[in-house]
Structure formats: C-alpha cells, structure tokens
C-alpha cells in the first residue's frame, strides 16, 4: 500500500500535475515554461492514465530528451560561447534569448567564475608544469591571480549582468528593448 492509495481521485490528479510541473521545470528553461508550459502540461495531463500519481518512465525520458534537444538547439556554437563567456563578446541576435536566460539564471556567477578559473588556472598550471614560470610549484602566484579574478567577478557581478543584457538589447530587468534597437529583427 502506497501513501497515495487513500487519496481522493482529485488529489491523485493534483499529485500527477505537480510531478509533471516539476518534470517540465527540470527539462525546459523558464522562458519555455512561461510561453508554452501550460499547453505542455495540459497535454501531459490529457495523456495520463487514470489513477497515476507520477508520469511513467517512458514519458519522463521523452520529456527530458525533448528538453535537452531544445536547450542544445538554442545554444550558440562552442567558439561563440567561449568568446561570450570569457571576454563578454556579443552573440548574434539569434541567441539573444539564450543570453537573457543565461544572465538571469540562478548560477550565472558560478558559470562565469568556472570559465574564468579555467582560462586563468589551466594556462598557469601548464606553464608551471613545464617549468617556464620560475621554479615549479609556485602555486601562490596562480592562487593569487585566481582569487583576484574571482573577487573581480563577485564585486562587479551586477555591472557584468547589466552590460551583457544591454549588449543583447535587454533592459536590466530582462525585458526586451524596443524593436528598432535590434535592427528590426523580431524573434
């Protein structure tokens, strides 16, 4: 006997809807959920078998696979992403909504610091391992540069976010600037 056996049918459908909402939140970015979330949720609820508490494994895997494909299709190519992440370069307008999701995302600072740490730490480690930078094992230099980059990102995070959003024609709160600003291209 499961904990859902004693629930009324309305409660079972609410439990199923809650599980589907969680699944959609995990699989798709917030922008997709704002525009298509209710439509997708109603489709999942219409296809549900009566009395189910959670989506079956096949449905779950299909939703996760489709969400992953959607996210990958929206991403810029690796070389453009590296220029954007490491140097703050502007991406083409095709990726502006991805940039908005990235900049407004929960772990933006973490992603930024990871990229900067990779850019700074790995070259220093390579140079140190080859003995080209003083005596090998001078980790305090690498740690100091890495700490300086991290402090720079933490202190300037609001400015970094604001500048990246402005480069991609968004206001600081993430709303698009008037359509004339993006060259008449609408998404």
Whether 6 has a pLDDT exceeding 50, the answer reads: no
Residue 29 has a pLDDT of 86
**Mean of the pLDDT values across residues 52-69?**
92
Whether 7 has a pLDDT exceeding 60, the answer reads: no
Residue showing tokens 């370069």: 89
According to DSSP, the residues that pair with 176 across neighbouring strands are 170
Residue 80 has a pLDDT of 93
Predicted confidence (pLDDT) per residue in 117-168, tens digit: 777 677 777 777 776 666 655 667 777 777 887 888 888 888 888 998 999 9
Q: What is the residue extent of each domain of the chain?
A: 9-74, 78-167
Whether 1 has a pLDDT exceeding 60, the answer reads: no
Q: Which residues contact 107 (CB under 8 A, 6 or more apart)?
A: none
On whether the CB atoms of residues 180 and 163 are closer than 8 A, the answer is no
More confident residue, 183 or 106: 106
Predicted confidence (pLDDT) per residue in 66-77, tens digit: 999 998 888 999
**Mean of the pLDDT values across residues 38-63?**
90
Residue showing tokens 């959607």: 70
According to DSSP, the residues that pair with 170 across neighbouring strands are 176
Question: Among 21-25, 63-67, 172-176, whose mean pLDDT is lowest?
Answer: 172-176
How far is it, in rounded angstroms, from Cα 42 to Cα 17? 9
**What is the DSSP secondary structure assignment for residue 173, as one 8-state letter?**
T
What is the pTM for the complete model shown?
A: 0.68
Based on the number of CB atoms within 10 Å of its own CB, is 168 exposed (0-12), middle (13-18) or buried (19 or more)? Answer: buried
């Amino acid at each position: 006997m499961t904990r859902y056996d004693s629930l009324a049918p309305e409660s079972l459908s609410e439990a199923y809807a809650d599980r589907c909402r969680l699944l959609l939140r995990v699989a798709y970015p917030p922008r997709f959920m704002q525009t298509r979330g209710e439509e997708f949720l109603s489709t999942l609820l219409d296809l549900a078998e009566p009395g189910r508490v959670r989506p079956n494994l096949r449905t779950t895997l299909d939703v996760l696979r489709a969400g992953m494909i959607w996210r990958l299709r929206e991403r810029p190519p690796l070389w453009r992403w590296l220029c954007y992440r490491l140097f703050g370069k502007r991406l083409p307008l095709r990726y502006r909504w991805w940039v908005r999701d990235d900049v407004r995302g929960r772990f933006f600072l973490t992603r930024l610091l990871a990229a900067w740490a990779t850019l700074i730490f790995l070259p220093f480690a390579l140079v140190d391992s080859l003995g080209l930078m003083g005596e090998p094992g001078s980790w305090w230099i690498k740690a100091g540069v890495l700490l300086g980059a991290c402090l720079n990102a933490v202190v300037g995070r609001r400015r970094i976010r604001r500048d990246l959003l402005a480069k991609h024609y968004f206001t600081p709160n993430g709303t698009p600037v008037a359509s004339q600003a993006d060259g008449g291209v609408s998404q």
